[in-house]
Structure 1
C-alpha cells in the first residue's frame, strides 16, 4: 500500500526539553526510514511495530542469557504483519516434490574443489557481486537470486560486472511458470533466460511491480546455455560449487520473524529444510570464532549486515540452504 504523508500545520515554536523527550521511538524509527502515515493508519502500524519490537527485545534477552543462539535487530520492515512478510518472501517450494533439472556430479565438484582447498570464499571481494538491490514490496526474490548468479558467471567469463534486469524476468517469464510479484521457482526463470536472454538494469529498470513485457532481444546482454542443480541436501557439494563455480542461486526457509529481523550469525531451530519460502544468492562462506557460516546476499542495505546474512554452516542443511541450489552455464 502506498505510504501517505502527513502535513503538519500550525504555529512554529522552539522545541523544549519536554518536547524533545516526547519524540517517541516510533517517530524516530519512521523518520530514519522515511516513512509516514495518515492518523488512522499510523495507529495501526504503530501497534504492529510495537509488537515486533517486543518480540525482538524478548529474543535478545534470551540471546544475552545464552538461551538463544543469535540476536535480532529492528529494521525498515518493523511495521509489517506476518502475512505481509510472507508476500515478500516470493518463493513457495516444497523441496520434496519440486521439479528439478539435471544435476552436477558431487564427485566432480569435490575433485575440482580439492585443487583450491578454500577455507574462506567471498565473491563480494572478488568483483563477482553487484550492489545490494531492494525488491521492494514485491515477491520477486526469485528474480534477484537468478540474476545474481548469472551476473557472477558473466564477470567470471568477461571481467565485466553488469547489473541484470530482474524486471525483465518479472514481466516476461510468466509463460515459463513464474508469477511476477507472487513468487516463482528459479529453474523456471532460468528456462526463460536460456530461451530468450536478459537485458541489463539500465535498459530495463526495476519498478517493484508487474507491468507489460517490453523485452527487446537486441538489447540483451546476458545469455546462458543451460543450468545445473547441486545434489539435494549435500552441503559439501554446495560448498565445492561455491568454491569452484561462483555465486549460487539458492532457496531457504525464511518464514520466521527471526529472519526478518536478522542481526547475527543465523541458526533458527525451527527452520524446515523442505519448506523453502525465499530465494537468495549464496556468495561465499567463512568462519568466525570456530563457527562456520554461509554468506547470503538478500535485500536492501538497511537489512541484516548491509543487506547480507551469515547463516550457520554445520552440515545439517540449515534452513534448506542445500535443498534447492542451482547455477547457470554460459
Structure 2
C-alpha cells in the first residue's frame, strides 16, 4: 500500500494544482509526474536564489512562470531556437562602423518615446527570430511615421524557408532580414500568429511595409550598441539564453556568470538602456521577466548581447 502523504506533500499538491490552473496546463497521465518533478526542482531553484538575493548575493530575482514545468533540456529544445545563417560570410559593407558622438544620452528607453508593444508569446514554436525582426521593423515604422503597427510573425515562420529558416524549428537573423528585404511584411491581423508552422499564405498585394536594406553592428562592441539604440532605434540582438536563471528571470538587473558570451541561441529586441543595464523585450508572455522585459547587466558583453546585433533600414 502507498504510504500516506504528509502535510508537506499535500501543500505541494495544492500549489501544483494552482500552477496548472494559473497557466492553463493539462497533461497526459504519463507526462504529469515528469512535469511535476521538473516544476518541484524549479520551485526549489527559485526559492534558494531569492533567499540569496535577499541576503544581497544577487541583484535580480526569479519566479515561477509558465515554463516552470520544463527541465533544462526541455527548455533548450523548445524555447531557444536561433540557428546560424546558412550563408556565413557577411560583406564588410553590411557591417556599420559606428561613430561615437559625445551627445549620446546616458539613458534611452524607446517605450518612454511611445514605442509600446503588448507582451508577446511565441509559445512552444521556436520563432524568436520572427518576433525580433518584426518588432524591430515596427520600431522603425514608429520612429519614421509615429504609428504603431503589428506586423506578421506568422508570415516569417511560414514563408522564410526560401532564405534558409526552419519554421518552428528555428531561424537566423540574417536569413530573416534577407526574406523581409525581398518580400516585405503583412499585418498581423491579416496573417495572425498560430503557434505552429502552416502553409505560406503570403500575398504581395497585402504587404504594408518593405525594408530597403539591413545592417549588422560591429561584433562584441557594447558602445556601438548604445550608439545604435540612441540614434537608430531598437535593434535585434542575439543572446545566450541557456542558464536556468534566464528561463525563470523575474526582475532586477540580470547577471549570471554562467551566461557566457561564447554562444548565442535566442533573439530579443533591445529597446533601451540605463547606466547599468540593457532593456530587452522577450516573447515569453507577460509572466516572464518584468511584464515580458529583461534588464541585463551592461559592460561585460554578458550573454553575448553584443555578439550579433542588427537593424533594418526602411
Question: TM-score scaled by structure 1?
Answer: 0.86
**Which residue of the partner structure matches residue 51 of structure 1?**
41
**Which residue of the partner structure matches residue 6 of structure 2?**
none
**Which residue of the partner structure matches residue 267 of structure 1?**
255
Does 1:105 find its partner at 2:89? no
Post-superposition offset of 1:100: 3.7
**Which residue of the partner structure matches residue 22 of structure 2?**
32
Tell me the distance in 1 between the aligned counterparts of 2:211 and 2:115.
Answer: 17
Q: Which runs of 5+ in 1 are unaligned?
A: 1-19
Tell me the distance in 2 between the aligned counterparts of 1:22 and 1:272.
Answer: 34
Post-superposition offset of 1:320: 0.6
**Which residue of the partner structure matches residue 308 of structure 1?**
293
Note if contact 1:93-1:275 (Cα within 8 Å) is conserved in structure 2: no
Q: Which runs of 5+ in 2 are unaligned?
A: 1-9
Tell me the distance in 1 between the aligned counterparts of 2:119 and 2:56.
Answer: 32
Post-superposition offset of 1:241: 0.3
**Which residue of the partner structure matches residue 56 of structure 2?**
66
Q: Which of 197, 200, 212 does residue 199 from structure 2 map onto?
A: 212
**Which residue of the partner structure matches residue 67 of structure 2?**
77
Post-superposition offset of 1:90: 1.5
**Which residue of the partner structure matches residue 173 of structure 2?**
186
Does 1:88 find its partner at 2:79? yes
Post-superposition offset of 1:105: 1.5
Taking a change above 3 Å as real, the CA distance of residues 118 and 216 of structure 1, as seen in their structure-2 partners, is same
**Which residue of the partner structure matches residue 312 of structure 2?**
328
Note if contact 1:224-1:329 (Cα within 8 Å) is conserved in structure 2: yes
Tell me the distance in 1 between the aligned counterparts of 2:282 and 2:62.
Answer: 16
Tell me the distance in 2 between the aligned counterparts of 1:311 and 1:321.
Answer: 9
**Which residue of the partner structure matches residue 4 of structure 2?**
none
Post-superposition offset of 1:64: 2.6
Tell me the distance in 1 between the aligned counterparts of 2:163 and 2:84.
Answer: 16
Post-superposition offset of 1:23: 6.0
Post-superposition offset of 1:84: 2.1
Taking a change above 3 Å as real, the CA distance of residues 138 and 22 of structure 1, as seen in their structure-2 partners, is closer
Alignment of 1:91-240 (within 5 A): 91-93=82-84, 98-100=88-90, 102-107=94-99, 110-111=100-101, 114-115=102-103, 117-240=104-227
Post-superposition offset of 1:28: 1.2
Post-superposition offset of 1:21: 6.6
Secondary structure of the residue aligned to 2:139 is helix
Secondary structure of the residue aligned to 2:278 is strand
CA-based RMSD of the aligned residues comes to: 1.9
Tell me the distance in 2 between the aligned counterparts of 1:304 and 1:281.
Answer: 14
Tell me the distance in 1 between the aligned counterparts of 2:21 and 2:70.
Answer: 16
State which drifts further: 155-164 or 57-66: 57-66
Tell me the distance in 1 between the aligned counterparts of 2:88 and 2:268.
Answer: 17
Question: TM-score scaled by structure 2?
Answer: 0.90
Tell me the distance in 1 between the aligned counterparts of 2:75 and 2:13.
Answer: 28
Secondary structure of the residue aligned to 1:44 is helix
Tell me the distance in 2 between the aligned counterparts of 1:257 and 1:189.
Answer: 27
Tell me the distance in 2 between the aligned counterparts of 1:273 and 1:92.
Answer: 16
Note if contact 1:129-1:148 (Cα within 8 Å) is conserved in structure 2: no
Post-superposition offset of 1:192: 0.5
